[in-house]
Structure formats: structure tokens, C-alpha cells
Structure 1
Amino acid sequence: MSTNQEVALLAEMAVFAKVVEAGSFSGAARLMGSTPSATSRAVARLEKALGTRLLLRTTRKLRLSESGRDVYAGCLDMVQAAQAVMASAGSYDEVPRGQVRVSVPKAVGRFVLHPHMPEFLRRYPEVDVQLRLDDRPLDLIEEGMDLAIRITDQPPPGLMGRPLLEITHMLCATPHYLECHGTPQHPRDLKQHSCIYLGEAPADARWKFARGGKSVSVTVQGRYAANHTGVRLDAALNHLGIASLPDFTARESLQAGELIRVLPDWSFRTNYSGQAWILYPPTRHLPPKLRVLMTFLAERLG
């Protein structure tokens, strides 16, 4: 492709980036003050020039093709580079503004992020935040999210990130429950107790522990299971049994003496334990609205 052709396609590249951001031709057209047909034609010209299909069109939504992902990353860099050039000339407002869309696991969103959002919104009055509380796997680009928080060993391929906080799980019960039913001294003792567990799959009732290089796995049972930590917390506070809870969910009740940690000398292992990272698409030019939110969360949660 010649330099002249590349320059001629800059507008189409910017339109394509906007279509991906908006999730539809009509949405992008509204943002740009154009029409859906003109927007669709711009993307078609870019696809023809590159010789590849960038978007997979279905009746419900647009999806990026494999090549479309790479092209979008480049187009996004181009748009943000243009913004950086304007900023250096004083033509672009560096005040953080606009909406930030954040995907976060349900419990982390409710108990960890949400309590800090009022302060963030007061500090940055021109930034809006949309939280999507969802535990399922996520494609940031395809679903139009700016940031995601996930528990992972390291950022997945194609994403950048920074660690936020360590999440651990523990077992808790009320003093009343333990007085009535006894306090387990070993994971095997849990078989004699009513346990409040996740309940989404049979494996959720198989609790795993480690201590001093030894591992123990116990199949627990109980009359109540719930796939929301807030519900399991409330069930434990109502003396229904021994609940598995993230540390951030149980913290206040433990400090108030409403709950007691069970088997504190054992490490309780779950898929929901580990390092929580804030993830974002790779880019050399992070918009101010994303930069300030990431910095804020790192300060509050790190």
C-alpha cells in the first residue's frame, strides 16, 4: 500500500475505530454526526483496501474478525496519537472527561469498587462511570469495555494491565452457630457441618485446603448454596452454617465480632483467589479519563 493510499484511508480508519467503540454503525454515526450508510461505506472501503474482512455482521451485533482485532488496535493507536498531537499543541482538552466502561466481577464490584465510586465521581466531575458486574469471561474490544478487573496470574494475551490487590478466601461462621455445633479443628470435620457454598457446579462443594506443604480436599454439604457472596454473608450471619467468603466481604463482620474465622491456620483455595488485575487494550496513548480512574483505584486498593 502506497503512502498516498495510507493517508487517504486515515478517515476510514478513524470511522472503523468509532464503529468498534460504539458497537454498531448507527451508534457510530450518531457520535460522528453522520449517517449509518455513510459509516458502513467507510468501513467497506477500508476492508477493500486492506483485502480482509474486519467486521463479522450478524443480526444482533457486530463482531471483530481475527484480522479486525489487529487493525482496530492500530486504528485506536492512530486516533489516540492524533489526540496526543492536538494536546501537545494545546488544542485538546486534557481535563479527564467522558464515560469509562468497566467490567468487574460481581462481588468485587459490589464490595470493593462501588464504595469508592462516590469519591471518584466527586473528584472528577466530568467523568462518568458505567460498571458492568459480570463474572463470565470477557472480550474487552468486542463488548466495548474500556477497562476490566479480573483475577488472573498475568494479563491475557492482547491486553495490558497492572495488579490491584490480592484476594483471599476464608471460612466464617457466627459465634452462635459454633457454640451450637462445635468448631472444626481439621478440614475433615467440615463433613459434620452445614456449609454454605457457591453451588454453581458440583465441584463447588469440594473445598480445598493447604497447610505446611500438605493438601486436603473435602466434599462438603449443607442446606443452602448461593452464587453471590453477599447472600452467603447474610446466610452466615443468620447462623445457617459455615460460609466460604472473600476476605473483603467478611472483613467488617469479622471486625465487629459478628463472624469468627474457621480453620484460620489453613489456606482455603478457590478459583476466585489470587491477584486482581485491571486490564485494558494495548495502547501508547491512554486517555485521561482512563488514566485517572486507574490511578485512583491503585491508590485506594493497592
Structure 2
Amino acid sequence: MVNSKLIALLPDLASFILIVDEGSFTAAAKKLNVTPSALSKLVTRLEQALSVKLFERTTRTLIITPTGQQIYDQAIVMVNAAQQAWELSTTDHTKPTGALTIAAPEAFLNSVLQPFVIPFLQQYPSIQLKLRVADGEIDLLKDGIDVAFKLTDKPDENLVLKEIGKTNLVLCASPEYIEAKGIPVHPTELVNHDCLYLAETATDNIWDFFRDDEFHSVAVSGPYAVNHSQMRLNGVKQALGIGIFHDFVITQAIESREVVPILPDWTIKSNYHGVVAMQYSQTKYMPARLRVFIDYITKALNEKLNPVIPKTTM
């Protein structure tokens, strides 16, 4: 049963969110067409109702408190849900129109999705597409995401899952590096080579290799670590060391012989290994803009995501 006191707080919570997003009473007041003093009184009323302090205020700054941040995080879920409810009641679901927010890992967004964005918008000019780089965990409702692409072997069980391909990891180096340093013939030999890794977590330099019943976990090191696939690939091309990349990132460089696959008979696993999962919230009333995006991207990526990696050798 809905708490009647909570219902009375909902408008104030929505205004509180806008104040946080805008960073000041003045900016939020302009959006709401009220005075800054009215918003200041609103926040005081909300603080009294919740028995917490939401902001640290000075004459020049407005800083949200830790408790205020927690309340904001919960309230934004409420507002996003209300936004979806409003769209359901106002949008003609037979016409693809409105905004879509899409989240995807940087490498996938840059190498795979990017070529299809402009053609999609040209075909559906009434849709506004917002793209976000998201390499970590995503809360679709809280973050206002319509569709999330994930490279994983553990998709979110609470979301609709559409597998649109698989992704494998490929170890490679430039011909110049191999000529200078040699080519490893076994994973354990990588400890004697310069290796380029992500540097996102403390264990990103631990590379796991599988072949039949054999397994090796190798701690690598090198002169360059960066969690941006294209920058890391540029380092490999310029003979800084050996790197690991998704097949969709590295195929073209292999075909042009800028880089050479290493240890192609071994399977490499990481947090970003497995299926390419397109996930979205379960809904009985799917907006037309979401439906056409899912159909368009599924068809467009049908062949894109399963490249055959040539086993080029020196």
C-alpha cells in the first residue's frame, strides 16, 4: 500500500533531483520557472520531512551530502520510471519517434556500432539517439538506459537477452616487434615479453589461457597500459609490445599484416569474453523506436560480429 506521506513528497523529490543536476538553486529555478528562494524553502521542507541534511550550503557553493547523494540515487529511479510511464501514455507506439539512450563498451561502440549510427538516424529521422561509453556495470533503470550492449559470458538475468554474436580475444604483435624480440610459442613465455594491458583493475595484467585440459594464468608486464582499445592497438602497431584485442577490433589490422596473431591455438578468457549481449528491460508495451532499433541493429550486425581471424604467420 502506498504511503500517503510519500505521495506528498514526490514533487519535492523531483525538484531536488533537478537542483542536483543543475548544480544550483538559480539554474534549477529557471527550469521550473520559480524563484531560487522558493526552491530553497522546498529543500528545507524536504529535509525536515526526511530528517536529514541534503546539502552543505554557502553563499557560493551547493554541495550534496553523502546522505543526500543516497536519496538522489533512489529518487532518480522514481523519476526515470515516471518518464517511462509518461512516454507510454503520450507516444504513438506505431511510429518510431523520441529519444533512445544506448550504452556499450568503448571498443564495441567504436569498432562495431559506429558505422550503423548515421544510417539508422537517416532511416528514422524522428528518433534521437544518445550513445554512452559504459565499460562497467550498468543499472538500466537508474541510469536511464534503453539498450545496453555487453561483452560477457554472464548476461544480466533480470533483463531481456538477445544474443547478436560472439566475441573472442586475439593475442597479437607487430612484425617489427616479433623480428626484434621473437615470437612466444607458449603462454608462459609471455613473462619474457613486453605486453600491453588494460590497467582498469589490479588484475588486468593476469592473462588466462586455455587449450583442451591445459590452463595457464600468466602475469604480464610492459611499458604501456591503457583502457582504450585503439590507443593500445596503436602501441602494438608501433612495436611497443604484445596486446590482446577483441576479434572485431583486430581483424582489419591482421588482414593488412600490420599485426600478427600469436598463440592462435589457445583460448583467452577475461571479463569481456563471451557473447555479445543486447539487453533491455522487459515491457509489454515496447515503444516503436526501441523495436525498430533492436530489429535494425540485429540485422546489421548479423555478419559483422563473427569475423574469421586469419592465422597469419611470419
The TM tier, using the shorter chain, reads 0.7 to 0.9
| Mean Cα deviation higher: 266-275 or 72-81 | 72-81
Q: 1:260 to 1:287 in 2, by over 3 A?
A: same
2:120 pairs with 1:139: no
Q: What is the CA–CA distance in structure 2 between the aligned matches of 1:57 and 1:299, rounded to whole Å? A: 49
Q: Which residue of 2 aligns with 1:233?
A: 233
The residue type paired with residue 95 of structure 1 is: K
Give the TM-score of the pair, scaled to structure 2. Answer: 0.71
- The within-5 A match list for 1:89-100 is 92=92, 94-100=94-100
Q: Given that residues 76 and 283 in structure 1 are in contact (C-alpha distance below 8 angstroms), is that contact kept between their aligned partners in structure 2?
A: no
Rate the CA distance shift 1:211–1:101 in 2: closer, same or farther, 3 A. Answer: same
Match of 2:190 in 1: 190
Summarize deviations over 1:207-247 as a string: whole Å, max 9, x none: 11000122111111211111111111000110111111111
Please give the alpha-carbon distance, in whole angstroms, between the structure 2 residues aligned to 1:36 and 1:124. Answer: 40
Instruction: After TM superposition, give the deviation of residue 68 of structure 1 in Å.
Output: 7.1
TM-score by length of 1: 0.73
C-alpha distance in 1, partners of 2:117/2:242? 31
Quote how far apart the aligned CAs of 1:200 are: 2.7
Q: Which moved more, 1:94-103 or 1:246-255?
A: 94-103
2:291 matches 1:291: yes
Secondary structure in structure 2 of the residue aligned to 1:202: coil
Judging changes above 3 Å, is the alpha-carbon distance between structure 1 residues 63 and 242 closer, same or farther for their aligned structure 2 residues?
same
Q: Distance in 2 between matches of 1:36 and 1:64?
A: 26
More displaced stretch, 245-254 vs 175-184: 175-184
Q: What is the Cα deviation at residue 186 of structure 1? A: 0.5
Q: What is the DSSP-based 3-state SS (H/G/I as helix, E as strand, rest coil) of the residue aligned with 1:226?
A: coil
Q: What displacement does 1:266 show?
A: 0.3
**What do the CA deviations read for 1:100-120 (whole angstroms, capped 9, x no partner)?**
111211111111111211211
When residues 156 and 103 of structure 1 are mapped into structure 2, their CA distance, relative to the original with a 3 A threshold, is same
Other structure's SS at 2:164 match? strand
How far the C-alpha of 1:72 sits from its partner, in A, is: 7.3
Structure 1 segments (4+ residues) deviating >6 Å? 26-31, 33-37, 56-74
Assess if the C-alpha contact under 8 Å between 1:57 and 1:63 holds in 2: no
- Cross-structure match for 2:282: 282
Give the RMSD, CA atoms, in angstroms: 4.2
Partner of 2:106: 106
Shift of residue 298 of structure 1?
Answer: 1.0
Is the contact made by 1:208 and 1:268 (CA closer than 8 Å) also made in structure 2?
A: yes
Q: 1:155 to 1:95 in 2, by over 3 A?
A: same
Unaligned stretches of 5+ in structure 2?
37-49, 57-61, 303-314
The structure-2 alpha-carbon separation of the partners of 1:67 and 1:226, relative to structure 1 and needing over 3 Å to count, comes to: closer
Distance of 2:70 and 2:295 partners within structure 1: 30
Q: Secondary structure at the match of 1:295?
A: helix
Aligned mates of 1:231, 1:300 — CA distance in 2: 26
Matches within 5 A, 1:100-179: 100-152=100-152, 153-157=154-158, 159-179=159-179
Q: Quick one: which amino acid aligns to residue 137 of structure 1?
A: E
CA deviations on 1:61-106 (whole Å, 9 max, x unpaired) are 99897997997798677556545xxx8xxxx373212221112111
Shift of 1:183: 1.3
Q: Which moved more, 1:71-80 or 1:113-122?
A: 71-80
Matched ranges for 1:3-152 at <5 A: 79=86, 82=89, 92=92, 94-152=94-152
Identity of aligned residues (%): 29
Cα contact 2:80–2:141 (8 A) shared by 1? no
- Partner in structure 2 of residue 246 of structure 1: 246
How big is the shift at 1:185? 0.7
Work out the number of aligned pairs and report it.
281
